[in-house]
Chains A and B, each alone.
Chain A
Amino acid sequence: MKKKKNKKRSQFGEVWHRLKKNKIAVASLIILILIFLTSALAPVLAPYNYDQEDFNASFAKPSKEHLLGTDRLGRDILSRLLYGSQQSLKIGIYSTAFAAVAGILLGALAGYYGGRIDNLIMRFLDIYQGIPMFLLCVTLAAVLGPSLRNAIIAIAISSVPGYARMMRASILTVGEMEYIEAARAINATDKRIILKHIIPNAISPLIVMITMSMGSSVLAGAGMSFIGLGVQAPIPEWGAMISDARSFLRGHGELALYPGICVIITVLAFNLLGDGLRDALDPRLKN
């Protein structure tokens, strides 16, 4: 009698089923996968090393040897874009991961325990948010010294409050639901309530937020590198490449254009995927 008559579709399966219907989100997902793949396979795909200079081919036009041409030092643009994506994605992923973990933890503490702990955490974050984000990044990078790692730390720290706030709000909403009380009525411990009931139900908006802020982190990373506080030469990074191209905008605008397009596509794809996830994760929009 142990036949499963009803096919069980996991939560993930449900979300995927709904996400599949959103063509733009699926396209974004595919683009992101492609970006990740090309970045991971950069050493294989790139025709040249990113710092391989060829002074004879300075500012070369696109050709068979250099598909997208070369820069002032004769470095292959395509190779630099491919390697650059590694740095940009690193900033996006690491800073988001760090910020999300710290923010979710703080928000969960504040939301579940409430009272004094809540007050302490939230007031601290209030003060902290009084400092403009970009200024904070710049200051941190300036103090710690410009490098990829410090740019990641700076961006992560500045986006912690957002996660904390959203997690707290989400937990407060879920905490008021009757099924939390129902769990208490059957002797569930605090730990079980948090892990089994609150987090699975409160996490949806955070998944969306994480996806979207990957995009903005990539952008912030590019911004930091642009002003010279992020990745240092000769390691390529999209923001840094735009920065390098600044001086030649008039004659060789395409040097700024290529990395710019890369940044735009990546950020856009993250945002559109986030949008799609928001719809897919909302069980009210079922059907």
Chain B
Amino acid sequence: MSALLDVRNLKKYFKTGGGMLHAVDDITFTLEAGKTIGVVGESGCGKTTLGRTVLHLLEPTDGQVFFDGEDITSPTKEELKKIRENMQIIFQDPYSSLDPRMSVSESISEPLVIQNKMTKAEIQEETMSLMETVGLAERFENSYPHELDGGRRQRIGIARALALKPKFIVCDEPVSALDVSIQAQVINLMLDLQEERGLAYMFVTHDLSVVKYISDDIMVMYLGQMVEKAPANELFSQPLHPYSKALLSAIPLPDIDKKAKRIIMQGEITSPINPKPGCRFMSRCRFACEACKEPQKLEEASANHFVACCRYKEI
């Protein structure tokens, strides 16, 4: 079975005053229909850029993206239109990702209006059914985003993303701006939708407990590179890369018995602008050695568990 999404050696560099910023550097992964890949990392590690580049909202610098077996790396306008119908995005901030001057129903129906395949009445009907799907009461039809709370706004964002019936959705920190009790409602909704519609998610977040909960596979990114990728449970039980270990140990657990021994990282973060070829985590790593100055290869440590560290066996 071929994967729904196949990303090969994807790169996205930005030109800055100081040189080339390697936001996404040589990322390779596949995602099957109905599955979720979690992408975790700290701010500035390129996880958001990765999502945007896969969706072609940003032009990739190098590498290839295959969707359903088709190469969509450099699409024509027509192809791009088709891509966007199959691949959608849910944004992080439900406050800034909705046009404040559009009512709820206008926002949700916009993709359908642009697609221009339905009559007005059909669009209206579809909008109502979308609102019901995401759990928005009909009375909000004519409300404006600023009149609603974060959770409801995020539901609008989800309804918009679902409107074109995509197969794959990039979720860019969809719940980070929400309160815990609302967050749980939205996560459950996303899981329900995945089951009903067989959606594949790419779930980008910095919140490790959420990502474990929702993902099948998790990719850990550090300064544009993938340092580890493993099935969710395995990553949490047996992280191999020193960065993953430090990251996981840093999560504050809502439990007073389990005080995890934290690995506190020292040293300065390497700049992602014109980075040296070696391991980018080296400057903060306790185990750094001469061999780390060489480019790190991604190795398959065990089935479907990849790690980019030359010393992972020793540490």
Direct A–B contact in the complex, CB atoms closer than 8 angstroms = yes
Bound complex: CA A230 to CA B64 (Å)? 66
Bound complex: CA A102 to CA B139 (Å)? 42
Q: Are A6 and B140 in contact (CB under 8 A)?
A: yes
Residue of A nearest to B88 (CB): A185
Q: Which residues of B contact A283 (CB under 8 A)?
A: 100, 146
Smallest distance from the beta carbon of A108 to chain B beta carbons, Å? 17
- Given contacts A11-B101, A182-B160, A186-B114, A6 and B57 within 8 Å (CB-CB): no
Bound complex: CA A177 to CA B115 (Å)? 23
Q: Are B96 and A177 in contact (CB under 8 A)?
A: yes
Which B residues, 173 to 216, have Cβ-Cβ distances below 8 Å to chain A?
none
Q: Are B110 and A186 in contact (CB under 8 A)?
A: yes
Interface flags, B152-168, vs A, CB<8A=1, else 0:
00000100100110000
Interface membership of A192, Cβ < 8 A:
yes
Q: Are B98 and A188 in contact (CB under 8 A)?
A: no
Bound complex: CA A286 to CA B115 (Å)? 34
Interface membership of B91, Cβ < 8 A:
yes
Q: How large is the interface on A (under 10, 10 to 19, 20 to 34, 35 or more residues)?
A: 20 to 34
Q: Which residues of B contact A179 (CB under 8 A)?
A: 96-99
Interface flags, A181-222, vs B, CB<8A=1, else 0:
111111111001000110011000000000000000000000
A-B contact number at CB 8 A: 72
Other-chain residue from A8, A189, A196 in contact with B103 (beta carbon distance below 8 A): A8
- Given contacts A4-B142, A179-B97, A197-B99, A185 and B57 within 8 Å (CB-CB): yes
Q: Are B98 and A6 in contact (CB under 8 A)?
A: no
Q: Are B81 and A187 in contact (CB under 8 A)?
A: yes
Interface membership of B85, Cβ < 8 A:
yes
Q: Are A186 and B160 in contact (CB under 8 A)?
A: yes
Residue of B nearest to A179 (CB): B99
Count of B interface residues, CB-CB < 8 Å: 34
Other-chain residue from A187, A192, A196, A201 in contact with B84 (beta carbon distance below 8 A): A187
Bound complex: CA A102 to CA B246 (Å)? 58
Q: Are B110 and A6 in contact (CB under 8 A)?
A: no
Bound complex: CA A1 to CA B97 (Å)? 30
Interface flags, A1-20, vs B, CB<8A=1, else 0:
10011111001000000000
Q: Are A286 and B55 in contact (CB under 8 A)?
A: no
Bound complex: CA A51 to CA B279 (Å)? 89
Interface membership of B141, Cβ < 8 A:
yes
Q: Which residues of B contact A201 (CB under 8 A)?
A: 99-101
Interface flags, B85-117, vs A, CB<8A=1, else 0:
100110111001111110100000011001100
Bound complex: CA A178 to CA B97 (Å)? 5
Bound complex: CA A246 to CA B30 (Å)? 84
Q: Are B91 and A182 in contact (CB under 8 A)?
A: yes
Q: Are A178 and B84 in contact (CB under 8 A)?
A: no
Residue of A nearest to B52 (CB): A181
Q: Are B139 and A182 in contact (CB under 8 A)?
A: no
Which A residues, 1 to 45, have Cβ-Cβ distances below 8 Å to chain B?
1, 4-8, 11
Q: Which residues of B contact A11 (CB under 8 A)?
A: 101
Q: Are B143 and A182 in contact (CB under 8 A)?
A: no
Q: Which residues of A contact B88 (CB under 8 A)?
A: 185-186
Bound complex: CA A197 to CA B163 (Å)? 19
Interface flags, B63-96, vs A, CB<8A=1, else 0:
0000000000000000011001100110111001
Interface membership of B138, Cβ < 8 A:
yes
Residues of B within 8 A of A (CB): 52, 55, 57, 80-81, 84-85, 88-89, 91-93, 96-101, 103, 110-111, 114-115, 138-143, 146, 157, 160, 163-164
Some 30 contacts from A to B, beta carbons below 8 A apart, are A5-B138, A5-B141, A6-B140, A6-B142, A11-B101, A178-B91, A178-B92, A179-B96, A179-B98, A179-B99, A182-B91, A182-B97, A182-B98, A182-B157, A182-B160, A183-B99, A185-B84, A185-B88, A186-B88, A186-B110, A186-B111, A186-B114, A186-B160, A186-B164, A187-B115, A188-B110, A197-B99, A201-B100, A283-B146, A286-B146
